[in-house]
């Protein structure tokens, strides 16, 4: 029997990843045509609505598809908020979005310590270690 919820959630992150790859490829092509190289590609990626939308879909698909509650919360928080913005001057016609991330957290175990690394806008990276 087909698990349609699983199919839906995996489709979200796969489509998101495909959008990211296609957007990156287009940005790389455009940068090569303009002669700006990797710097142009990276600068374009930071403002790219395709990259932002693709990453949001990857996080949303991963967040809805995991079983443990804490993993779901982590992925959905990472998905952030996708906000429509006005098109940049001289930009390609179309819809533009900005991905607003309010927090990113990575938790690991290093030796006998629990290490929690968190990032917040304006505060930067904070590291907390617990034995």
Q: Is the dihedral of CA 3, 60, 62, 15 positive or negative?
A: positive
Q: What b/e string do you get for 81-90 counting C-beta neighbours within 10 Å, with b at 16 or more?
A: ebeeeeeeee
Q: Is residue 16 a part of any domain in this protein?
A: yes
- Please check whether residue 97 lies inside any domain of the structure: no
Model pTM above 0.75: no
Kindly tell me if the per-residue pLDDT of 15 is higher than 80: yes
Domain hosting 34: range is 4-78
99-111 pLDDT, tens digit per residue, is 677 777 778 888 8
Q: What band does 78 get if pLDDT is binned at 50, 70 and 90? A: low
How many domains does one find in the chain?
1
The reply to whether 96 falls in a domain is: no
């Amino acid at each position: 029997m087909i698990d349609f919820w699983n199919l839906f959630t995996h489709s979200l992150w796969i489509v998101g990843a495909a959008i990211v790859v296609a957007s990156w490829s287009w940005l790389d092509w455009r940068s090569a045509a303009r002669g700006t190289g990797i710097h142009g590609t990276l600068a374009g990626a930071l403002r790219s609505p395709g990259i932002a939308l693709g990453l949001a879909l990857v996080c949303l698909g991963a967040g809805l598809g995991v079983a443990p509650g804490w993993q779901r919360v982590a992925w959905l928080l990472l998905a952030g908020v996708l906000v429509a913005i006005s098109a940049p001057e001289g930009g390609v016609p179309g819809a533009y979005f900005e991905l607003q991330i309010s927090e990113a957290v990575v938790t690991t175990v290093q030796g006998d310590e629990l290490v929690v690394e968190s990032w917040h806008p304006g505060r930067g990276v904070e590291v907390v270690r617990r034995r």
